[in-house]
């Protein structure tokens, strides 16, 4: 098509009147209701659809320029995208905020009420999924051609409720009131095969080849979501796949008259994208999960090759057009899938296909926990994906042959590095496959990347030192500062202009203001207003009452032993014990609100007991008049992105207390820093970099370092020795064991106490005293409110490094080698 005949793209009027017309059109024609009778949900849906219209022009021109320029793209493959609410972000990106508030006001509609009506898409468990969401936001803002590929789970992360303080999970039916941000394309559905067997055949030239004869298949229906960049940038695409039964399958069974069977088949197929697995960092080796992984990866590769690339594209040039970034090992089955497409479907030689495939992937590892490293037993994998298993075997054979040349007398090393583990069952080590196939392997914080090199993947780092790199995580300043903390962002903009929103290093300009008493006063005023805001949210949402005139001490993250919520709890119980036994006067206690937010994987029994214990301690201390209201635990159920957005800006103290060497990075830690909280933390994950940037004097460091942990474990760790020698610790543990928090019943929390005394895998008892001492330093520091504010301002000023825009720059420079492309005007 020539420039003259290019059809125009529709535009929208950026005026209050234009917006009001559009909105009413959506409400009347789209929703089919009149404003006088419209429900809040009607108005929310009409509003969302109106706002997305305003982004459409940019989206379509982004797609058009991409088709024309064929620039190299990043395909971010991730089983999770934890997006959070969309409306505010879309308003910000479309620059419509003022127009919309005026327009809605003229119609007598409360924007806040519409905001609250949105159900957040919780298509992720925690850090890994939220990181993916931050990254695609940054890529769009930075005009980087990219596409996110994932799964449109019908049910996202479960809704947590508490019954008598115990976690009870409810399904997250996030689609029930409509889903205005997605664009389904059933006509573009892709077929995905499973099962069956592999057969040998001769091609037209008499060459013996192997091919997959699948046993069953499903369809993947793409749902497109806009990913709008801030301020006139690109609007990229997130494509999530939803599983449906194939029509052939259906018709066959329908024609045979077995209606019930046809419906069963439908349900079977749709099960694949039905629900997000709720384990964070401890995946279960379930067959359905492998089905999910292959499902979205096969759809995505086919989509990219057949739909995104031009029809005549020479796939030998694939590495010039794409890099598939593997978000942990969940999408790693993409590697043998691309090989299968090239060898079996395109008829390439093995070597030719491998040469291309190994240039197309890069792998990000997000953990150090051995139990989080995915392995798939070969009998399961071979049953579900027999051809892929063959391909993995061949990749491994060739890799091991190469190793035997490099290490002729070191068969032990060769066995250690094998993609196939032989013990305890024969299984595919997905991290090894990703490392062998990837151009690069990165950890997510400096310490984590170092430990990957030195421990988890040390043999590989020895063999391919240049493959290993670090990209420290980041968070999007649009969502986690600009939108979530309007007070502070306003103050920052007033002080240094608004360039920080896309160039977070500019926050450095705030440093001198840490010494400006008036700036500090306003900063404190904003923190206080944020406390009032969360207090009102907690009261309405959970019936929890908190006192804004207290230190807000916040620990929000998944419940996991390695994150050590129990260490925080031991601190609280110890304080309580000392007050109630008169060892310290209640008047000497710094008034604190201990806020927790944490979901436990439904099958993680100990984690659920810890949740119950936090709630039980909360009930006891919140009601004890002896404390005169000076200590309070607030544990709202169902911590999610939406709650994070109001809780984090109100925090004074950020709890980042994982055992050193276990938290790959953390990203909550960065959000707190940018919102002016001080961190109490171990030398772990990105805490290390936070402390380096903010300075030792502005960070409450405690605990064993990673090498010290290794040493203690090596020597043999005996938690009971700490119990024996530390009276405060003993009193705290004894109080829990006595049934003081469980109506006198000693059995309820016995498993937690026993675990700590006998096993304590994550050395909570070893770090207890150091933690309590660090908390005492917090109390002293907080008492000097001017100096505390000064340090809080410095945290903000020195946090610019933790923008996900910087992470994206690092990925581009070190891994992807792509370039920004602005959409056509």
First to last CA, the chain: 18
Q: Which of residues 368-387 bind ligand KOT (CB under 6 A)?
A: 372
Q: Which of 283, 382, 474, 800 binds ligand KOT (CB under 6 A)?
A: 283
Nearer to ligand KOT by C-beta: 136 or 794?
Answer: 136
151 vs 285: CA distance, rounded Å = 18
Question: What is the nearest approach in angstroms of ligand KOT to the Cβ of residue 794?
Answer: 23
Question: From CA 431, how far away is CA 366, in angstroms rounded?
Answer: 11
Taking the complex as a whole, the smallest distance from the CB of residue 223 to ligand KOT amounts, in Å, to: 23
Residue of the chain from 92, 128, 238, 262 that contacts ligand KOT (CB under 6 A): 128
CB of 34 to ligand KOT, least distance (A): 46
663 binds ligand KOT (CB under 6 A): yes
Helix (H, G, I), strand (E, B) or coil at 676: coil
**Among 193-201, 366-374, 590-598, 642-650, the segment contacting ligand KOT (CB under 6 A):** 366-374
Closest residue by Cα to residue 652 from 689, 679, 633: 679
274 is catalytic: no
**Could you tell me if 513 and 519 are in contact, meaning their C-beta atoms sit under 8 angstroms apart?**
yes
- Give me the catalytic one of 366, 478, 522, 630: 366
Choose, by CB under 6 A, the member of 224, 367, 485, 656 that binds ligand KOT.
Answer: 367
Q: Which stretch binds ligand KOT (CB under 6 A): 225-233, 277-285, 463-471, 739-747?
A: 277-285
| 429-458 footprint of ligand KOT as x/- string (CB under 6 A) | ---------------x--------------
Instruction: Please pick, from the candidates 131, 318, 427, 756, the single residue that binds ligand KOT as defined by CB under 6 A.
Output: 131
Q: State how far the Cα of 722 lies from the Cα of 489, in Å rounded to an integer.
A: 45
Is 53 an annotated catalytic residue? no
Q: Whose Cβ is closer to ligand KOT: residue 226's or residue 375's? A: 375
- Stretch in the footprint of ligand KOT (CB under 6 A) among 158-166, 663-671, 673-681, 741-749: 663-671
Closest contact distance (angstroms) between CB of 667 and ligand KOT is 5
Distances (CA, A) of 345 to 15, 209, 353, 616: 52, 11, 11, 60
Strand-pairing partners, residue 146, are 74
Q: Say if CB 220 and CB 243 are below 8 A apart.
A: yes
**Catalytic hit among 130, 429, 440, 557:** 557
Structural contact between residues 568 and 655, judged by C-beta atoms closer than 8 angstroms? yes
Specify the 3-state DSSP secondary structure of 98. helix
Distances from the Cα of 453 to the Cαs of 302, 400, 512, 687, in angstroms? 33, 20, 39, 19
Shortest distance, CB of residue 485 to ligand KOT, whole angstroms?
A: 21
SS3 category, 770: helix
Count of alpha carbons within 13 angstroms of residue 82, beta-carbon side = 20
566 is known as an active-site residue: no
One of 84, 126, 145, 220 touching ligand KOT (CB under 6 A)? 126
What is the spatial distance between Cα 647 and Cα 292, in angstroms, rounded to a whole number? Answer: 33
Q: How far is the CB of 802 from ligand KOT (least distance, A)?
A: 11
Please indicate whether residue 244 is annotated as part of the active site.
no
CA 346 to chain centre: 36
Is 233 among the residues that bind ligand KOT (CB under 6 A)? no
Q: How far is the CB of 279 from ligand KOT (least distance, A)?
A: 7
d(CA 357, CA 339): 7
Give the SS3 label for residue 758.
Answer: helix
Interface of this chain with ligand KOT, residues 319 to 338, rule: CB under 6 A: 328
If binding is defined by CB under 6 A, does position 685 make contact with ligand KOT?
yes
| Three-class DSSP labels, 524-574 | HHHHHHHHHHHHHHHHHHHCCCCCCCCEEEEEECCCCHHHCHHHHHHHHHH
Residue 224 or 442 having the CB closest to ligand KOT: 442
Question: Taking CB under 6 A as the rule, does residue 561 contact ligand KOT?
Answer: no
Quote the CA–CA distance of 347 and 337 in Å, as a whole number: 14
CB of 660 vs ligand KOT, minimal distance in Å: 13
Which residue, judged by CB position, is nearest to ligand KOT in the bound state?
127
Q: By CB under 6 A, name the one of 12, 53, 366, 388 that touches ligand KOT.
A: 366
Whether 563 is catalytic is yes
Q: Which of 138, 665, 675, 682 binds ligand KOT (CB under 6 A)?
A: 665
Q: How far apart are CA 820 and CA 825, in angstroms?
A: 15
Applying CB under 6 A, the span of 14-22, 24-32, 301-309, 658-666 interacting with ligand KOT comes to 658-666
Round to whole Å and give the CA distance between 75 and 73.
Answer: 6
With contacts defined by CB under 6 A, how many residues of the chain interact with ligand KOT?
19
Q: What is the dihedral of CA 733, 734, 740, 745, to 10 degrees?
A: 100
Whether residue 366 lies in the annotated active site: yes
Among 145, 222, 474, 666, binds ligand KOT (CB under 6 A): 666
Stretch that binds ligand KOT, among 97-105, 123-131, 267-275, 449-457 (CB under 6 A): 123-131
Choose the binding region for ligand KOT from 10-18, 241-249, 660-668, 740-748 (rule: CB under 6 A): 660-668
Least Å distance between CB 687 and ligand KOT?
10
Which has the closest alpha carbon to 481: 697, 144, 797, 123? Answer: 797
- Short-list 227, 237, 233, CA closest to 95: 233
Contact with ligand KOT (CB under 6 A) among 78, 396, 667, 698: 667
Strands, E assignment, 566-660: 592-597, 631-634, 653-656
The burial class, CB within 10 Å (0-12 / 13-18 / 19+), for 405 is exposed
Question: Which one is catalytic: 58, 72, 130, 558?
Answer: 558
Could you give the residue numbers annotated as active site? Answer: 366, 557-558, 563, 667, 671
Residue ranges binding ligand KOT (CB under 6 A): 126-128, 131, 280-281, 283, 328, 366-367, 372, 444, 473, 663-667, 685
């Amino acid at each position: 098509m020539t420039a003259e005949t290019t059809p125009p793209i529709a535009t929208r009027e950026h005026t209050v009147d234009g917006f009001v017309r559009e909105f009413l059109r959506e409400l009347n024609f789209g929703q089919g209701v009149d404003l006088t009778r419209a429900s809040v949900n009607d108005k929310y849906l009409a509003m969302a659809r109106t706002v997305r219209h305003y982004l459409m022009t940019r989206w379509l021109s982004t797609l058009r320029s991409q088709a024309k320029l064929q620039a190299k793209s990043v395909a971010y493959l991730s089983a999770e995208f934890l997006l959070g609410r969309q409306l505010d972000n879309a308003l910000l990106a479309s620059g419509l905020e003022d127009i919309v508030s005026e327009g809605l006001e003229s119609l007598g509609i409360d924007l806040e009420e519409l905001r609250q009506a949105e159900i957040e898409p919780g298509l992720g468990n925690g850090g890994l999924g939220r990181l993916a969401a931050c990254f695609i936001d940054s890529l769009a803002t930075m005009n980087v051609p990219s596409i996110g590929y994932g799964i449109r789970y019908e049910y996202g992360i479960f809704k947590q409720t508490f019954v008598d303080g115990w976690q009870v999970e409810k399904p997250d039916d996030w689609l029930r009131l409509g889903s205005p941000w997605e664009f389904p394309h059933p006509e573009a559905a892709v077929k995905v095969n499973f099962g069956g067997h592999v057969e040998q055949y001769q091609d037209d030239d008499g060459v013996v080849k192997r091919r997959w004869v699948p046993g069953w298949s499903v369809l993947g229906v793409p749902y497109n979501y806009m990913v709008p960049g801030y301020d006139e940038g690109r609007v990229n695409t997130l494509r999530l796949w939803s599983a449906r039964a194939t029509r052939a399958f259906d018709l066959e069974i329908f024609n045979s008259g077995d209606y019930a069977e046809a419906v069963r088949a439908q349900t079977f197929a749709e099960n694949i994208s039905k629900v997000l697995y709720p384990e964070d960092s401890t995946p279960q080796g379930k067959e359905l999960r492998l089905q999910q992984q292959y499902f979205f990866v096969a759809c995505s590769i086919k989509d990219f090759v057949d739909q995104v690339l031009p029809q005549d594209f020479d796939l030998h040039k694939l590495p010039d057009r794409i890099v598939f970034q593997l978000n942990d090992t969940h999408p790693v089955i993409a590697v043998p899938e691309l090989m299968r497409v090239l060898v079996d479907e395109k008829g390439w030689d093995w070597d030719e296909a491998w040469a291309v495939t190994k240039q197309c992937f890069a792998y990000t590892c997000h953990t150090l926990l051995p139990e989080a490293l995915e392995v798939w037993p070969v009998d399961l994998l071979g049953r579900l994906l027999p051809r892929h298993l063959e391909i993995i075997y061949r990749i491994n054979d060739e890799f091991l042959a190469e190793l035997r040349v490099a290490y002729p007398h070191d068969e032990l090393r060769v066995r250690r590095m094998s993609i196939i583990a032989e013990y305890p069952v024969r299984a595919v080590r997905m991290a090894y496959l990703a490392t062998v196939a990837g151009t690069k392997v990165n950890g997510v914080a400096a310490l984590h990347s170092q430990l990957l090199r030195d421990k988890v993947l040390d043999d590989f780092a020895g063999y391919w030192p240049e493959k290993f790199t670090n990209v420290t995580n980041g968070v999007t300043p649009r969502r986690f500062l600009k939108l979530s903390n309007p007070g502070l962002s306003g103050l920052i903009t007033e002080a240094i202009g608004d360039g920080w929103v896309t160039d977070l290093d500019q926050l450095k300009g705030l440093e001198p203001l840490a010494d400006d008493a008036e700036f500090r006063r306003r900063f404190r005023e904003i923190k206080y207003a944020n406390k009032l805001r969360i207090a009102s949210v907690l009261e309405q949402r959970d019936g929890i009452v908190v006192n804004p005139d207290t230190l807000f001490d916040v620990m929000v993250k998944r419940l996991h032993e390695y994150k050590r919520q129990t260490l925080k709890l031991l601190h609280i119980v110890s304080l309580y014990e000392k007050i109630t036994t008169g060892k310290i006067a209640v008047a000497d206690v710094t008034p604190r609100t201990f806020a927790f937010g944490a979901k436990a994987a439904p099958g993680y029994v100990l984690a659920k007991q810890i949740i119950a214990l936090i709630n039980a301690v909360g009930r006891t201390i919140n009601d004890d008049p002896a404390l005169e209201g000076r200590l309070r635990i607030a544990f709202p159920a169902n911590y999610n992105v939406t709650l994070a957005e109001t809780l984090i800006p109100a925090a004074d103290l950020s709890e980042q207390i994982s055992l050193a060497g276990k938290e790959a990075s953390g990203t909550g830690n960065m959000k707190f820093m940018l919102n002016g909280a001080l961190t109490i933390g171990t030398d772990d994950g990105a805490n290390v970099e936070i402390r380096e940037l903010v300075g030792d004097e502005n960070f409450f460091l405690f605990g064993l370092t990673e090498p010290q942990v290794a040493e203690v474990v090596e020597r043999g760790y005996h938690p009971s020795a700490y119990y024996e020698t530390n009276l405060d610790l003993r009193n705290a543990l004894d109080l829990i064991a006595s049934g003081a928090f469980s109506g006198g019943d000693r059995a309820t929390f016995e498993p937690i106490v026993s675990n700590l005394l006998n096993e304590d895998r994550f050395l909570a008892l070893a770090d207890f005293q150091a933690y309590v001492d660090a908390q005492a330093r917090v109390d002293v520091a907080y008492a000097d409110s001017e100096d505390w504010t000064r340090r809080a301002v410095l945290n903000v000023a020195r946090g610019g490094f933790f923008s996900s825009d910087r992470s994206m720059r690092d990925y581009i420079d070190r891994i992807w080698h792509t370039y920004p492309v602005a959409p056509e005007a």
